[in-house]
A and B are shown apart, each in its own frame.
Chain A
Amino acid sequence: MKCSFTLNGRAVEAEIDGLTPLLRLVRDHAGTGTKLGCGEGRCGACTVLVDGEPVASCLYPAANVEGRQVRSIESIAAPDAPLSPVQDALLDGGAVQCGACIPGVVMTLTALLEKENRPSEERVRTELVGNICRCTGYHKIVESALAVTTASEEPV
């Protein structure tokens, strides 16, 4: 079947089987930033946003994105543009180690911070529960997310 949707602002038309996971289309059409971590929707390395909501693209059927907006890590900062505040904060905060989970983490945090500009630490941790990071122990990821919210309050 045919599937038409918008990926990172570009129109995509793809021929898919009924259960083709969204992850495959994202990696074919956007780049390899979105990772296949566990393949069972548990680790969150494959997180992308569908109409602003994080989904595990390794399980999410591509057929479901017909006519919708999909954003992957490649959309967060243009290749020649500065990093987004979330990306910047993660690097500043020492929250990136091997980095395989990080594209998924960036997507989860971006979605959260687009909805809430001052989430509590508890809220950040709850949102991140679907993103397994085997390296960092999470603290620096959480601190970085909170640093973004603090920075945005400072007068310009």
Chain B
Amino acid sequence: MTGVIGQNHRRADGEAKVRGTAIYGMDYTERAALHAKVLRAEVPAARVVRLDTSKAQAMPGVWAVATAADAPGLSGMMALKDQRVFADGVIRYIGEPIAAVAAETPRQARAALAAIELELEPLEPVFDLDEALRPETRLVHPDWESYQTMVPAPREGNLAWQASTERGDVDAVFATAAIVVEDEFRSPRQHQCSIEPHAAVARYEQGRYIVHTPTQFPFLVRGRVAELLGVRPSEIRIVVPTIGGGFGGKLDSMLEPLACVLARKAGRPVRIVNTRAEEMATAAPRENAVVRLRTAVSEDGEILAQEAEVLSDNGANSSGETVACANIPPLVLGGTYRIPNARYVSKVIYTNTPPTAAFRGVNGPYCVFAQEMHLDHIARELGMDRREIRRRNVLKAGEAMVNGQVLDDAVLTDALDTVERMSGEATPSGNPKALRGTAVVPLTWITNPGPSGANVKLDEDGSIVVTAAAAEIGTGAVATGIRQLVAAEFGVPFERVVVTPPDTDAAGYDHGAQGSRTTVGMGNAALDASAKVRDQILDVAAGLLEADVADLELADGAVGISGVPDRKVTLAEVAGAALFTTGPIAAAGSFAAPPIPFDAGCMVGALFTNFFAATYHAHFAEVEVDPDTGKVTVLRYAVAQDVGKAINPQMIEGQIHGGVVQGLGFALYENLRLDGGLVLDQGLESYRLPTALDAPPIDIQLLENPYPHGPLGAKGVAEPPLVPVAAVIGCAVADAIGVPVRSLPLSPFDVLAALRDKRRDEV
């Protein structure tokens, strides 16, 4: 049993991936599938005066043309229902679907799109977040008041949603504090850029829609498609092939409703795949944001009170997680440091731009960047050491974060100590003019508390089969994590555990591969079911061995009697005996996050209210800045990460490497630029992703700090390594050049401009 946990097992889906035999969503198709193409808006805001598809309908090879009339439903990702499949007479962003065509060939589908007649009357577009909130600005959704919401929240006009957290007497503290420091920070959109684009194949059969789609969250897609099409969720079946990357971008429904509508109209399967340009322009990225911070501190560097206003761009509708996670900024700002008095307001704002969505660390990375750059500013004002101000204010075990939740197991100080110990000598580039800087950043982060159901059966050959809707998006959580947990529970080799691919008809609910939750949520559900199956196995084996259940032990794929080495029955024998006596051995298990005490009274408009299975981190970076070019080179990077319990250390390291490099992309290179609502970066030529030459040396130390409600103590591991990267790089660059750069990414132009301004100020 102990041979399975903590071991670097190879991923169970690995051979097919390296051989090229795995069938991804982008590879999947069905016999006689039609090709679909989408007519997308080319202006950011307009009224549809005339839409005539009759010519397109009559084109050769065309089987179906669909418009808003075919999909009347309103939906939204969990929180706020303000989205339709097709523009409903009003265009709200460039790229919004207006109509879709299914035809025999892609060329015929494109020709039909060109034959659709569209007449528009332009409207005044809204792009800027502050401007959107002014009373005289045109409303992106004039009907906002009529939209359904999951919980009540302050909303008005272009303010799609507001979430806030307030504690203590903030105004009184500001009025008497020794020092008040104020800052504003900005961050751009970051695109997930999974190698596999969005793809979906749908058919309509026996009155139900069957959709093959590489989604991270099959049950969400099922529910969203049902709402958009105006049918019951059970009328949709989602089947998930191998997924070619997600990072939050494949949580929500995207192409699935289009494929479903067309498949029903055409009476044939319909396949739809995004081009890379469609992917960049319409597949929802991380939101751009503005963070404004104001902090009252004592002379010795103690944070007394803090105010924040976080503006995040929802884009034209709430089809992503930006609204659902609106209370993450307050929790993140007040989850790492002791902030006794706080007023945090998070505003999600409508604009005439493509909708934004979840990206690893949703709503978090720019808040951490802002908070840490701001802390450095405070330290400068006080003439205090940057590490000292962090150590003085960081939350310790037993202290409460801003929502009143007590962090009993906080190990932030240990994490800081660990990265300090790890920081060895850097190898400089050899550029004699290079400026060098370092920074250390602590972070508290969350494991997504969503529920899971799992079914476990003992197969007739003695294998264990787990039927689950947990999606393997590449992290290894399903391909190794769940298998290792279940193998340990039954005392069978890793290879004897099978986890079926997600199919919403077969598996119980699962809350998706998001927020590092799969190993924790599905792991717990699978262990719950496994314990019940284990009881049944022992019961049957007790009969076969004529022994008491209490004397039985399960190991090496067999049940034996303690202290009697010769008396054993294999799991296959148990399964066979059970078939015609007790019946097949199987059980369902489930997981729901235990309630966590916190102060609900301090929050308004929050769907995320606390930190489930909180994890504690510290990141260290050393950078070099070339003063002639503004180029930033990361010389070395260190991570100390609380993982609860490491089920597969190698896979966790892989998640940390990947998260840090994605964070470096956010910090230094990635910027999905918009101009007049048009996404300028339509491919990987201009949207700069980190390459093998950009990945610095990364040292990793895993901290095992078990969580009592995690499977064997495990906590979420995959999301947090991205979250503090922009912050630690931003602070290290500021340390190197002696002046902060307050917007991301830290492009050579911005770094040079900051250096130039500093020199001018010094003259």
Question: Which residues does A use to contact B, with CB under 8 Å?
Answer: 31-40, 42-43, 45, 72-74, 76-77, 79, 83, 87, 90-103, 106, 124-126, 128-129, 131-142
Contact = CB atoms under 8 A, between A and B. Distances in A.
B639 to A, nearest CB: 11
8 contacts: A35-B27, A91-B18, A96-B17, A97-B654, A98-B194, A98-B195, A98-B196, A138-B692
Contact of B276 (A38, A83, A92): A38
Given A35-B196, A102-B18, A132-B195, A140 B653 contact: yes
Contacts of B692: 124-126, 128-129, 131, 133, 138, 141-142
A39 B685 contact: no
A134 B247 contact: yes
A87 B18 contact: yes
A137 to B, nearest CB: 3
A74 B20 contact: yes
B interface: dominant SS: loop
A33 B19 CA distance: 7
Given A40-B276, A132-B689, A139-B657, A96 B245 contact: no
Nearest to A30: B20
B684 interface: yes
B21 A33 contact: yes
Closest 3 CB pairs of A and B: A33-B20, A98-B474, A137-B657
Contact of B661 (A36, A93, A94, A137): A137
Contacts of B650: 93-94, 140
Interface in B240-274: 242-247
A63 B308 CA distance: 60
A101 B195 contact: yes
Interface in B429-476: 473-476
A80 to B, nearest CB: 11
B68 interface: no
B359 to A, nearest CB: 11
B564 interface: no
Interface in B1-51: 8, 10-11, 13-15, 17-24, 26-27
A14 B249 CA distance: 37
Most interface-central of B8, B17, B22 (chain A CB within 10 A): B17
Contacts of B243: 98
Contacts of B685: 40, 42
- Interface range for B: 35 or more
Contacts of A37: 195-196, 276
A76 B21 CA distance: 12
Given A36-B26, A90-B18, A96 B11 contact: yes
Contacts of B293: none
A133 B195 CA distance: 8
A122 to B, nearest CB: 9
Given A98-B473, A101-B195, A138-B692, A32 B23 contact: yes
A99 B19 contact: no
B474 A99 contact: yes
A85 B20 CA distance: 15
A40 B684 contact: yes
Interface string B209-245: 0000000000000000000000000000000001111
B419 interface: no
